[in-house]
Amino acid sequence: MRLTHPLRTPYPWLTTLKVSQLQHIAQATGIHSSGPKAALLTRLRAQLPQCELPHPHPHPHSASASASANPSPGRNLSILSIDMGIRNLAYAHLSFHVPDTADSDSNSISNSISNTPAQLHAWRRLAVSELLPPDGLEGPDTARGIGSSSSSFSPAAYAHTAYALVTGLLARYAPTHVLIERQRFRSGGASAVQEWTLRVGVFEGMLYAVLVALRMGAGAGVGVGVGAAPVVVGVEPGRVGRYWEGEGSVEEKTTKKKEMGEGERRRKGPREGKKMKIDLVGGWLSSGTGSPVVVGAEGEVRQLVDAYLGRWEGKAKGKGRRKGKGEVGDGIGTVADAETVDVRKMDDLADCLVQGVTWLQWQTMRRRIAMMGLDALPELKK
């Protein structure tokens, strides 16, 4: 019988922790946190080493140098974070640079990475339903007069739109990673699933199909003129929300849970969750040092940030002007004027930005744990 040496087991100190502590680590690193202790240990050991941040000391023969299936060039990550929707699809483009601290010890390197903010270069919302191709590209259903309006769903037309949207975004931003909000079917309390959730789910699948096809084509030497195929990651919005709701030590959360009644234990509802993310982004963008994200030098993103903060702070006199159908463009161009920026759907803009920042923090914590072990989470020692 073959025995596994205890020193070869990744993160051997995990077995000394309680279930609540293992759940805390899982939530801090974006890993599914439910299940018994054995399942949590298996999951953490398998997924904690999967970190997309380049290692500060890359060695050609080290395990960390080959941890990612598609390592980013140099120390830079280029992240395109997409909040799914048909009428309200939003995306944020972020960059993150792993600081060069080759002569420092593990603690200094880890702290330097944690204190490095991401840069926000683009932040947009667009209506996919208004980006449909001309009639000549629409499917047979439209040709027969079924669903001829721009808000109707024609899979053939949306397939062309998905390809144009993905290739346009890849060509413009050259992301190393694409984060896509995972969809779930909603009934809204009714007896049937709402039709719009099916449409968004199908369009989500189309985006994945296009990205996978581009990756396979690149691997086969079939170029499409959009650069290297990025790593594609599905992100569950509920996991993102729980990450920001879970602030505080393990003991504090356990004590609070025991003290709360059944009615108080429920998680935030959809409306409360949206408000939390909107306020979270508002706090980031309005603060100076210490924010996990800073605004880049691009004029367009600064205009949108100003409009967002104006509405968030209650200083905007109006709700903004609704863009006409002809002003939407391809969703990839520039905004001509700050007064035309429509930020009424603040929750969609907040969702895509929070998703990108949260994913980066998950990767940062995985790197910290790999370098510092349990010392990366001092609250677990209290």
Q: Which residues contact 61 (CB under 8 A, 6 or more apart)?
A: none
The structure's pTM equals 0.79
Residue pair 165/130 in contact (Cβ under 8 Å)? The answer is no
Task: Report the distance separating Cα 269 and Cα 60, nearest Å.
Answer: 48
Map residue 264 onto helix, strand or coil. Answer: helix
Structure tokens at 197: 């959730």
Indicate the angle between helix axes 299-312 and 346-372, nearest 10 degrees: 110
Residue pair 321/342 in contact (Cβ under 8 Å)? The answer is yes
**Could you read off the pLDDT tens digit of each residue along the chain, which spans 382 residues?**
444 444 456 789 999 999 999 999 999 999 999 999 999 999 999 999 999 987 765 444 444 444 444 444 456 899 999 999 988 899 999 999 887 655 556 677 777 788 889 999 999 999 887 776 655 344 444 433 334 444 567 888 889 999 999 999 999 999 999 999 998 766 556 666 777 788 889 999 999 999 999 988 766 555 555 556 899 999 999 999 999 986 544 444 444 444 545 444 455 677 888 999 999 999 999 987 789 999 988 889 999 999 999 999 884 444 444 443 333 344 554 444 445 677 778 999 999 999 999 999 999 999 999 888 888 888 887 6
Residue pair 349/125 in contact (Cβ under 8 Å)? The answer is yes
Structure tokens at 236: 């569950």
| Strand blocks (E) in 185-335 | 231-235, 293-295
| Strand blocks (E) in 306-374 | none
Map residue 3 onto helix, strand or coil. Answer: coil
For the chain, helix (H) and strand (E) counts, in that order, are 11, 6
Map residue 120 onto helix, strand or coil. Answer: strand
